[in-house]
Chain A
Amino acid sequence: MHLRIQIIAIVLSVFVLVAIFELVRKRKLREEYSLLWLFAGISFLALSIRRDLVERISAYMGVSYGPSALFIAAFLFGALLALHFSLILSQLAERIRILTQQNALLGLELTQLQKKQNSTESKCAANVAECGETETE
């Protein structure tokens, strides 16, 4: 029974590691964001191979029931990941703000330039001498 769950755990963690590696390789996941996931996958793999590690770590932490230490670790990892995402989201929101503003201001500049060009073009039609002048500008 123990062996079976161990094999399942190892297969699962290897699968997770391979999946993350594949995502990064196909450029669907950025390297910098894959670090936390890889770290989790490797820890999971280590714990599956060396079952006594869970017991030892929980004993060291003063937790009498091994699996509950595992739950705490899993919960902490989840919380850390959520914080990491909020951080990235804040950065993205900031960048989007700057891009939106620049985009809007560039749009305005473009329409102003077009208007200017249109008016010089119509001047051209009326006065050829002035047209030559603006072209050399």
Chain B
Amino acid sequence: MVKSRYLAIVPAYNESASIEYVVKSLLSLPLGLDVLVVNDGSKDNTARLAGEAGATVVTLPCNMGIGGAVQTGLIYAKNNGYELALQVDGDGQHNADEIQTIVEPVVSGDTDVAIGSRFLSPKGFRSSRIRRVGITIFKIAIYVLTRQLITDSTSGFRAFNSQAIAYLAAHYPCDYPEVEVVVALKRNGFRIKEFPVRMKERQGGRSSITPIKSAYYMVKVLLALTISFFRPPEKPAGKV
């Protein structure tokens, strides 16, 4: 069944407006990716459109949130022996042609995890003001906890090598994933590097994030981060 050694994981919840475009642009890359759309209990026809566009589709019977969806993809990647897994948002914010930017450093062994950061790039969409405030606070928190500067911790444009896949398939912080994953990976000895990418505004559909939710979310993430610091590191499944 496995054709490629690289898997692109696209978590999607009600992304019927953009999913076809995302899948097709990923499949058209010269890298020869397999594309797995994790349909997170969508109420629209995201699954059908993704399948018709040529993706493998795994449908979660109920909505689990981005963390549970991405982890499902990582478990699939681990079970099918992929060497590298990419995470790409289903809303079309990421440029498929920039995938090489985060794939290359992982393939060359330069890092275990590569994150595409919109803030390292001089151009492109920057997201709303309130969201940027949140990202700045996360940046400080992550720096305090890990001594590494991560400029775009909420970025959903990432590449993982097989050790990181194995680790995250077993221990993915599902509640507040993007930021917590960074801290969990660092705490367990993985190397993380950021690379500049441009981001676009959503190609369609609606973001699931509202201002009040964002504030609540931020408090919860900061709490989760602080607590995670007091946990002993787990042994990464791939590095035993």
B residues within 8 A CB of A103? 61
In this complex, which of A100, A103, A107 has the most chain B Cβ atoms within 10 angstroms of its Cβ?
A100
A residues within 8 A CB of B38? 104
Verify A97–B68 contact, CB threshold 8 A. Answer: yes
Verify B68–A108 contact, CB threshold 8 A. Answer: no
Q: Give the size of the chain A interface in residues (CB under 8 angstroms).
A: 9
Q: Which of B57, B64, B71 contacts A108 (CB 8 A)?
A: B57
Expressed in whole angstroms, the Cα–Cα distance for A108 and B1 within the complex equals 12
Quick one: given A105-B72, A105-B75, A105-B76, are A100 and B1 in contact (CB under 8 Å)? Answer: no
B residues within 8 A CB of A105? 58, 72, 75-76, 79
Main secondary structure of the interface of B (DSSP, over half): mixed
Q: Which of B1, B72, B79 contacts A104 (CB 8 A)?
A: B72
Q: Chain B nearest CB: distance from A104 CB in Å?
A: 5
Across the A-B interface, how many residue pairs have beta carbons closer than 8 Å?
A: 35
A residues within 8 A CB of B57? 108
Residue interface bits B43-60, CB-to-A below 8 A is 1, else 0: 000000000000011111
Verify A107–B68 contact, CB threshold 8 A. Answer: no
B68, closest chain A residue (CB) = A97
Q: Which of A97, A104, A112 contacts B59 (CB 8 A)?
A: A104
Residue interface bits B61-79, CB-to-A below 8 A is 1, else 0: 1101000100110011001
In this complex, which of A104, A105, A107 has the most chain B Cβ atoms within 10 angstroms of its Cβ?
A104
B residues within 8 A CB of A108? 56-59, 76
Expressed in whole angstroms, the Cα–Cα distance for A80 and B18 within the complex equals 48
Verify B174–A107 contact, CB threshold 8 A. Answer: no
Expressed in whole angstroms, the Cα–Cα distance for A91 and B65 within the complex equals 18
Q: Chain B nearest CB: distance from A49 CB in Å?
A: 45
Verify A101–B59 contact, CB threshold 8 A. Answer: no
Verify A101–B60 contact, CB threshold 8 A. Answer: yes
Verify B174–A104 contact, CB threshold 8 A. Answer: no
Verify A100–B68 contact, CB threshold 8 A. Answer: yes
A99, closest chain B residue (CB) = B61
Verify A97–B58 contact, CB threshold 8 A. Answer: no
Expressed in whole angstroms, the Cα–Cα distance for A103 and B72 within the complex equals 10
Q: Chain A nearest CB: distance from B171 CB in Å?
A: 12
Verify A112–B61 contact, CB threshold 8 A. Answer: no
Residue interface bits A94-114, CB-to-B below 8 A is 1, else 0: 000100110111011000100
A63-120 with Cβ < 8 A to chain B: 97, 100-101, 103-105, 107-108, 112
In this complex, which of A101, A103, A107, A108 has the most chain B Cβ atoms within 10 angstroms of its Cβ?
A101
Q: Chain A nearest CB: distance from B75 CB in Å?
A: 6
A residues within 8 A CB of B72? 101, 104-105
7 A-B pairs within 8 Å (CB atoms) are namely A100-B61, A100-B64, A101-B72, A104-B59, A105-B58, A105-B75, A105-B79
CB within 8 Å of A: which residues of B? 1, 38, 56-62, 64, 68, 71-72, 75-76, 79, 174
CB within 8 Å of B: which residues of A? 97, 100-101, 103-105, 107-108, 112
The 8 closest A-B pairs by CB, nearest first: A108-B58, A101-B72, A104-B60, A104-B58, A97-B68, A100-B60, A103-B61, A104-B59
Q: With A104-B72, A108-B59 given, can you name 19 additional A-B contacts, CB distance below 8 Å?
A: A97-B64, A97-B68, A100-B60, A100-B64, A100-B68, A101-B60, A101-B71, A101-B72, A101-B75, A103-B61, A104-B59, A104-B60, A104-B61, A105-B72, A105-B75, A105-B76, A105-B79, A107-B59, A112-B1
